[in-house]
Amino acid sequence: MNKTALVTGGSRGIGFGIAEKLAAEKWDVLVNGVRPEDAVAEPLALLRKLGARVGYARGDLGSAAGRADIIKACNAFTEGRPVNLLVNNAGVAPKVRADLLETTEESFDHVVDTNLKGTFFLTQSIARAMVEQRRRDPGFKAAIITITSVSATVASVNRGEYCIAKAGLAMVSSLFAARLGAEGIAVYEVRPGVIRTDMTAAVTEKYDALIAGGLMVQARWGLPEDVGKAVASLARGDLPYSTGQVILVDGGMTIPRL
């Protein structure tokens, strides 16, 4: 049986860039999203053209019922075996970019329930299955990669709930790395910078100006494929002695400079 990967939020943006790179390396890819399957037929077809076996796991990461739907789809796709690779990518932005002093509890819950709480409990469920499988079969390969953001450490006062969720995810990645190391399961965090996706489309003009003004060392937008290449490298096992580490894909944005 081929190695299988679950990519949450994998039908567009960074998630699709990741799924595309994994599919090109002949991983079986299960894509998670909240839209009906017919609404994501085009990206799924593109992945299948790369020669991969591709499935769709519809489910809202932010709810317990939605996470149960994702797990059910995983079990069907893998015929009861856990996935070899979990890529935690799904996330939402605040519906309104509000000043920190105006952030609402509703917006906070919306972002944190999906980006942090949902990711934690989905990871917990899949990690349990991975551990059980490895204890039965020590040759079973498993890894977890969580996509965070430079917002884990770079403060944006008009979307504080997003920064808080991403900072929390950085610790989630560290915690699972520490817990799963003895089980032979590698855990990594990939931390993108400013990536051109539908999530950043509304602030294109702002970031065009910042990039032109020297925001990054490499003066361009990041692309979903930049993140996908980093994830594919980790999935191949190219950094076997680096569990728990943060891989920055930010064009040098977070290098302290004078």
Round to the nearest angstrom and report the end-to-end CA distance of the chain. 52
Report percent pLDDT > 70 for the chain: 100
3-state secondary structure of 76: helix
3-state secondary structure of 223: coil
**Candidate CATH numbers 3.30.70.580, 1.20.1050.10, 3.40.50.1110, 3.40.50.720; the one for domain 4-249:** 3.40.50.720
pLDDT band at 2 (very low <50, low <70, confident <90, very high): confident
pLDDT for residue 228 is more than 90: yes
Task: Please provide the average confidence, as pLDDT, over all residues in the chain.
Answer: 97
Is residue 188 among the annotated active site residues?
no
Distance, CA of 161 to CA of 31 (rounded, Å): 26
Amino acid at 207: Y
Distance, CA of 41 to CA of 47 (rounded, Å): 10
Domain ranges across the chain: 4-249
Kindly provide the b/e burial profile for residues 91-114, where b requires at least 16 CB atoms within 10 angstroms of the residue's own CB.
Answer: bbbbeebbeeeebeeebbebbbbb
Tens of pLDDT along 63-90?
A: 999 999 999 999 999 999 999 999 999 9
What pLDDT sits at residue 1?
66
Q: Which of 12-26, 37-51, 126-140, 190-204 has the weakest average pLDDT? A: 190-204
What pLDDT sits at residue 198?
85
Instruction: Determine the average pLDDT of the residues in 145-149.
Output: 98
What pLDDT sits at residue 201?
85
Residue located via tokens 């302290």: 256
Tens of pLDDT along 23-49?
A: 999 999 999 999 999 999 999 999 999
Which of the following is catalytic: 56, 162, 207, 241? 162
Specify the pTM.
0.97
Tens of pLDDT along 89-112?
A: 999 999 999 999 999 999 999 999
- Identify the sign of the CA torsion 108, 109, 115, 116: positive
Residue located via tokens 């390396």: 25
CB 55 within 8 A of CB 77: yes
CB 169 within 8 A of CB 148: yes
- Count other Cβ atoms within 10 Å, centred on residue 131: 19
